[in-house]
Amino acid sequence: MKNAHLWRALGRNTIISIILFGALLGVLWLAEMLFPSVSLLKWHDAAWVVGIPASVIGVAYILTVRDPQNYTGFYPGIVMSVLLGVQFLLQEQYDSTFLFFFVFIPFQMMSIYKWSRGKDDGGASFEPKFLDTPRLLLSVAMLVFITAGDYVLATYAFQHNGLADNIAVKLLNGLLISSSFLANYWLIYRKTDSWIYWFIYSVSGIGLFIILGNIFSIVLFCFFLVINSMAGLAWIKATKKENFGWVKIFVK
Protein backbone atom coordinates (compact mmCIF):
# COMPACT_ATOMS: atom_id res chain seq x y z
CA MET A 1 0.00 0.00 0.00
CA LYS A 2 1.37 3.39 -1.01
CA ASN A 3 2.47 5.50 1.98
CA ALA A 4 1.46 2.72 4.37
CA HIS A 5 4.02 3.99 6.90
CA LEU A 6 2.18 7.33 7.05
CA TRP A 7 -1.10 5.59 7.88
CA ARG A 8 0.63 3.43 10.49
CA ALA A 9 1.98 6.60 12.11
CA LEU A 10 -1.55 8.02 12.18
CA GLY A 11 -2.77 4.82 13.85
CA ARG A 12 -0.03 5.00 16.48
CA ASN A 13 -0.74 8.66 17.18
CA THR A 14 -4.45 7.94 17.54
CA ILE A 15 -3.73 5.22 20.11
CA ILE A 16 -1.35 7.56 21.96
CA SER A 17 -4.03 10.27 22.01
CA ILE A 18 -6.66 7.87 23.38
CA ILE A 19 -4.27 6.73 26.13
CA LEU A 20 -3.34 10.31 27.04
CA PHE A 21 -6.95 11.44 27.24
CA GLY A 22 -7.95 8.31 29.12
CA ALA A 23 -5.29 9.13 31.70
CA LEU A 24 -6.39 12.78 31.82
CA LEU A 25 -10.06 11.88 32.34
CA GLY A 26 -9.03 9.31 34.96
CA VAL A 27 -7.08 11.92 36.92
CA LEU A 28 -9.98 14.39 36.75
CA TRP A 29 -12.45 11.70 37.85
CA LEU A 30 -10.18 10.86 40.80
CA ALA A 31 -9.97 14.58 41.68
CA GLU A 32 -13.77 14.76 41.73
CA MET A 33 -13.91 11.69 43.99
CA LEU A 34 -11.41 13.21 46.44
CA PHE A 35 -12.92 16.71 46.32
CA PRO A 36 -16.71 16.36 45.80
CA SER A 37 -17.19 20.14 45.71
CA VAL A 38 -15.08 20.39 42.53
CA SER A 39 -16.96 19.83 39.25
CA LEU A 40 -14.63 18.91 36.40
CA LEU A 41 -16.47 16.35 34.27
CA LYS A 42 -19.78 17.60 32.83
CA TRP A 43 -21.35 14.49 31.31
CA HIS A 44 -24.78 16.16 31.41
CA ASP A 45 -23.60 18.88 28.98
CA ALA A 46 -24.06 17.74 25.34
CA ALA A 47 -21.55 20.29 24.01
CA TRP A 48 -18.93 19.14 26.52
CA VAL A 49 -19.51 15.48 25.62
CA VAL A 50 -19.06 16.24 21.88
CA GLY A 51 -15.86 18.10 22.75
CA ILE A 52 -14.20 14.99 24.23
CA PRO A 53 -13.90 12.95 20.98
CA ALA A 54 -13.12 16.21 19.16
CA SER A 55 -10.16 16.76 21.48
CA VAL A 56 -8.95 13.15 21.25
CA ILE A 57 -9.06 13.25 17.44
CA GLY A 58 -7.54 16.74 17.43
CA VAL A 59 -4.49 15.61 19.38
CA ALA A 60 -4.03 12.67 16.98
CA TYR A 61 -4.20 15.24 14.15
CA ILE A 62 -1.52 17.47 15.72
CA LEU A 63 0.74 14.54 16.62
CA THR A 64 0.56 13.32 13.02
CA VAL A 65 1.17 16.62 11.21
CA ARG A 66 4.08 17.17 13.58
CA ASP A 67 5.80 15.28 10.77
CA PRO A 68 5.70 17.82 7.90
CA GLN A 69 5.55 14.94 5.40
CA ASN A 70 2.51 13.18 6.88
CA TYR A 71 -0.67 14.47 5.23
CA THR A 72 -2.84 11.66 6.71
CA GLY A 73 -3.30 13.73 9.86
CA PHE A 74 -5.67 16.03 8.00
CA TYR A 75 -8.27 13.25 7.68
CA PRO A 76 -8.89 13.17 11.46
CA GLY A 77 -8.50 16.95 11.30
CA ILE A 78 -11.64 17.09 9.14
CA VAL A 79 -13.53 14.87 11.62
CA MET A 80 -12.32 17.11 14.46
CA SER A 81 -13.61 20.20 12.64
CA VAL A 82 -17.05 18.63 12.18
CA LEU A 83 -17.28 17.74 15.88
CA LEU A 84 -16.06 21.15 17.02
CA GLY A 85 -18.53 22.82 14.67
CA VAL A 86 -21.33 20.84 16.33
CA GLN A 87 -19.97 21.68 19.79
CA PHE A 88 -19.94 25.43 19.10
CA LEU A 89 -23.38 25.23 17.51
CA LEU A 90 -24.72 23.70 20.74
CA GLN A 91 -23.03 26.52 22.67
CA GLU A 92 -24.57 29.13 20.31
CA GLN A 93 -21.13 30.40 19.28
CA TYR A 94 -22.12 30.84 15.66
CA ASP A 95 -18.92 32.59 14.56
CA SER A 96 -16.86 29.54 15.56
CA THR A 97 -19.46 27.19 14.03
CA PHE A 98 -19.17 28.97 10.69
CA LEU A 99 -15.37 28.92 10.91
CA PHE A 100 -15.08 25.17 11.46
CA PHE A 101 -17.69 24.10 8.90
CA PHE A 102 -16.99 26.53 6.08
CA VAL A 103 -13.33 27.51 6.53
CA PHE A 104 -11.32 24.85 8.37
CA ILE A 105 -12.75 21.80 6.58
CA PRO A 106 -11.94 23.30 3.12
CA PHE A 107 -8.50 24.31 4.46
CA GLN A 108 -7.79 20.75 5.56
CA MET A 109 -8.96 19.34 2.24
CA MET A 110 -6.58 21.73 0.48
CA SER A 111 -3.79 20.60 2.82
CA ILE A 112 -4.36 16.94 1.88
CA TYR A 113 -4.17 17.87 -1.80
CA LYS A 114 -1.01 19.98 -1.53
CA TRP A 115 0.87 17.84 1.01
CA SER A 116 0.17 14.56 -0.79
CA ARG A 117 1.73 15.91 -4.00
CA GLY A 118 5.05 16.61 -2.28
CA LYS A 119 5.77 19.55 -4.59
CA ASP A 120 4.80 23.21 -4.51
CA ASP A 121 3.08 24.92 -7.44
CA GLY A 122 6.42 25.65 -9.06
CA GLY A 123 7.46 22.01 -8.94
CA ALA A 124 10.04 22.53 -6.20
CA SER A 125 10.29 20.24 -3.17
CA PHE A 126 7.51 21.12 -0.72
CA GLU A 127 9.46 21.76 2.51
CA PRO A 128 8.71 23.58 5.77
CA LYS A 129 9.50 27.28 5.46
CA PHE A 130 9.06 30.44 7.47
CA LEU A 131 7.20 33.32 5.85
CA ASP A 132 9.13 36.15 4.26
CA THR A 133 8.89 39.54 6.00
CA PRO A 134 6.10 41.10 3.86
CA ARG A 135 3.82 38.07 4.34
CA LEU A 136 4.66 37.98 8.02
CA LEU A 137 3.47 41.58 8.40
CA LEU A 138 0.32 40.79 6.39
CA SER A 139 -0.33 37.76 8.60
CA VAL A 140 0.02 39.82 11.80
CA ALA A 141 -2.33 42.44 10.34
CA MET A 142 -4.87 39.67 9.63
CA LEU A 143 -4.55 38.46 13.22
CA VAL A 144 -5.44 41.95 14.48
CA PHE A 145 -8.22 42.43 11.91
CA ILE A 146 -9.98 39.10 12.63
CA THR A 147 -9.66 39.58 16.40
CA ALA A 148 -11.17 43.06 16.14
CA GLY A 149 -13.93 41.81 13.83
CA ASP A 150 -14.91 39.05 16.22
CA TYR A 151 -14.88 41.57 19.08
CA VAL A 152 -17.40 43.71 17.20
CA LEU A 153 -19.58 40.67 16.46
CA ALA A 154 -19.52 39.56 20.10
CA THR A 155 -20.45 43.08 21.21
CA TYR A 156 -23.26 43.88 18.80
CA ALA A 157 -24.47 40.64 17.21
CA PHE A 158 -24.15 37.89 19.83
CA GLN A 159 -25.09 39.71 23.01
CA HIS A 160 -27.32 36.85 24.15
CA ASN A 161 -24.41 34.45 24.65
CA GLY A 162 -22.87 36.28 27.61
CA LEU A 163 -19.77 37.66 25.87
CA ALA A 164 -20.97 41.24 25.44
CA ASP A 165 -20.13 42.46 28.96
CA ASN A 166 -16.56 41.18 29.36
CA ILE A 167 -13.88 42.91 27.29
CA ALA A 168 -11.12 40.41 28.17
CA VAL A 169 -13.33 37.44 27.23
CA LYS A 170 -14.21 39.03 23.88
CA LEU A 171 -10.58 39.81 23.07
CA LEU A 172 -9.32 36.34 24.03
CA ASN A 173 -12.16 34.65 22.15
CA GLY A 174 -11.31 36.73 19.07
CA LEU A 175 -7.63 35.87 19.43
CA LEU A 176 -8.57 32.19 19.74
CA ILE A 177 -10.48 32.38 16.44
CA SER A 178 -7.92 34.49 14.53
CA SER A 179 -4.92 32.41 15.62
CA SER A 180 -6.62 29.11 14.74
CA PHE A 181 -7.63 30.56 11.35
CA LEU A 182 -4.04 31.55 10.54
CA ALA A 183 -2.60 28.32 11.95
CA ASN A 184 -4.84 26.23 9.70
CA TYR A 185 -4.24 28.47 6.69
CA TRP A 186 -0.44 28.43 6.87
CA LEU A 187 -0.41 24.68 7.45
CA ILE A 188 -1.74 24.32 3.89
CA TYR A 189 1.51 25.79 2.58
CA ARG A 190 3.76 24.05 5.15
CA LYS A 191 4.76 27.30 6.80
CA THR A 192 6.54 26.81 10.11
CA ASP A 193 4.85 30.03 11.30
CA SER A 194 1.62 28.04 11.67
CA TRP A 195 2.94 26.65 14.97
CA ILE A 196 3.46 30.16 16.31
CA TYR A 197 -0.28 30.68 15.82
CA TRP A 198 -1.05 27.31 17.42
CA PHE A 199 1.01 28.49 20.41
CA ILE A 200 -1.01 31.74 20.55
CA TYR A 201 -4.20 29.66 20.26
CA SER A 202 -3.22 27.52 23.26
CA VAL A 203 -2.17 30.46 25.47
CA SER A 204 -5.28 32.54 24.64
CA GLY A 205 -7.45 29.47 25.38
CA ILE A 206 -5.83 29.09 28.80
CA GLY A 207 -6.43 32.78 29.55
CA LEU A 208 -10.04 32.64 28.32
CA PHE A 209 -11.00 29.65 30.45
CA ILE A 210 -9.21 30.98 33.53
CA ILE A 211 -11.55 34.00 33.33
CA LEU A 212 -14.57 31.77 32.68
CA GLY A 213 -13.58 29.48 35.55
CA ASN A 214 -13.72 26.29 33.44
CA ILE A 215 -11.12 24.08 35.13
CA PHE A 216 -11.44 21.21 32.67
CA SER A 217 -10.81 23.50 29.67
CA ILE A 218 -7.83 25.10 31.44
CA VAL A 219 -6.28 21.65 31.86
CA LEU A 220 -7.18 20.76 28.27
CA PHE A 221 -5.55 23.88 26.79
CA CYS A 222 -2.45 23.40 28.94
CA PHE A 223 -2.32 19.94 27.38
CA PHE A 224 -2.69 21.51 23.91
CA LEU A 225 0.09 23.98 24.73
CA VAL A 226 2.53 21.14 25.40
CA ILE A 227 1.52 19.18 22.29
CA ASN A 228 1.60 22.23 20.00
CA SER A 229 4.95 23.40 21.40
CA MET A 230 6.48 19.95 20.77
CA ALA A 231 5.15 19.96 17.21
CA GLY A 232 6.44 23.49 16.62
CA LEU A 233 9.93 22.58 17.80
CA ALA A 234 9.90 19.53 15.51
CA TRP A 235 9.03 21.74 12.53
CA ILE A 236 11.71 24.31 13.38
CA LYS A 237 14.30 21.52 13.46
CA ALA A 238 13.00 20.28 10.09
CA THR A 239 13.26 23.74 8.50
CA LYS A 240 16.47 24.29 6.55
CA LYS A 241 18.47 27.44 7.26
CA GLU A 242 17.86 28.76 3.73
CA ASN A 243 14.10 28.55 4.43
CA PHE A 244 14.21 30.66 7.59
CA GLY A 245 12.53 33.65 5.90
CA TRP A 246 11.92 36.53 8.32
CA VAL A 247 13.76 34.61 11.09
CA LYS A 248 17.06 35.27 9.26
CA ILE A 249 16.90 38.81 10.65
CA PHE A 250 17.45 37.38 14.15
CA VAL A 251 19.84 34.48 13.48
CA LYS A 252 23.18 34.28 11.76
Instruction: Please list the residues that pair with 92 across neighbouring strands.
Output: none
Classify residue 150 by its DSSP letter. H
Q: Are 115 and 126 in contact (CB under 8 A)?
A: yes
For 128, the domain range is 4-249
Please tell me the predicted confidence (pLDDT) of residue 175: 95
Q: For 66-121, write each residue's pLDDT tens digit.
A: 999 899 999 999 999 999 999 989 988 887 898 899 999 999 999 999 998 876 66
- As for how many domains the chain has, the answer is 1
Which residues of the chain are under the pLDDT cut of 70? 1-2, 119-125, 158-164, 252
Q: Any residues with CB less than 8 A from the CB of 90 and at least 6 apart, and which?
A: 46, 47, 50
Q: Which helix (H) or strand (E) holds 84?
A: helix 74-90
pLDDT at 12: 97
The pairs formed by 232-241 with CB atoms below 8 angstroms and a separation of 24 or more are 232/192, 232/195, 232/196, 232/198, 232/199, 234/66, 234/67, 235/66, 235/68, 235/128, 235/192, 235/195, 236/192, 236/195, 238/68, 238/127, 238/128, 239/127, 239/128, 239/129, 239/130, 239/192, 240/127
What's the mean per-residue pLDDT of the chain?
Answer: 90
pTM of the predicted model over 0.95: no
